[in-house]
Amino acid sequence: MKNYIHPKMEIAVIFLVSILGIFFISFYHYLNSDNDLYKLAFIIILTFGIICSFLMPICIAPDEVEHFVRSEITSDGILAPNYENGSYVTIQSTLDLIKNSKHTRSTKFDDINYSKASIFHTDADTKPINYTHVKYPSAFAQNPFYGYLAQALGMDIAKALNLNAIWLLWLGRICNVILYSVLVSFAVKKTPILKVPMIAFSCIPLAIYQSSSLSIDAFINGLAILMVSYFFYMYKAPNKSLGKKELIVFSIMGLLLGLTKITLFLFMLLILCVPKSRFKEDKYYYLGILSIIVVGVIGVLWIKYYASFAFQNSFRHNYWILKHINNKSQLSYVLSHKFASLIAVLQMFTKYLGSDLYFKSSNLFVNKINSVYLMFIGAIVLLYPIKKVNIKSKIGVFIVLIMIYIGTYITFLFTWTPVGQLNKIIGVQSRYFLPLFTLLPFIFGFNHMEGDKSSIDTWIMGL
Length of the chain: 463
Helices marked H in 236-360 — which ranges? 244-258, 282-302, 308-312, 315-323, 327-336, 338-346, 348-357
Looking at residue 110, its pLDDT comes to 54
Hey, is 451 helix, strand or coil?
A: coil
Angle at CA of residue 328, ends 325 and 349, nearest 5°: 70
Residue 38 CB neighbours (<10 A): 22
Low-confidence stretches of the chain (pLDDT beneath 70): 1-4, 32, 100-116, 354-363, 365-366, 449-454, 461-463
59: left (phi over 0), alpha (psi -120 to 50) or beta: left
For the segment 177-223, what is each residue's pLDDT rounded down to a tens digit? 999 999 999 999 999 999 999 999 999 888 999 999 999 999 999 99
Q: How far apart are CA 184 and CA 202, in angstroms?
A: 7
What is the pTM for the complete model shown?
0.90
For the segment 112-141, what is each residue's pLDDT rounded down to a tens digit? 665 667 777 777 778 899 999 999 988 999
Is 409 within 8 Å of 428 (Cβ atoms)? yes
26 Cα distance to chain centroid:
29
Looking at residue 96, its pLDDT comes to 85
For 210, 218, 251, 371, 410, the CA distances from 430, given in Å and listed in that order, are 11, 14, 26, 17, 15
Q: Considering the chain, what is the average pLDDT of its residues? A: 87
Q: What is the dihedral of CA 97, 131, 313, 105, to 10 degrees?
A: -30
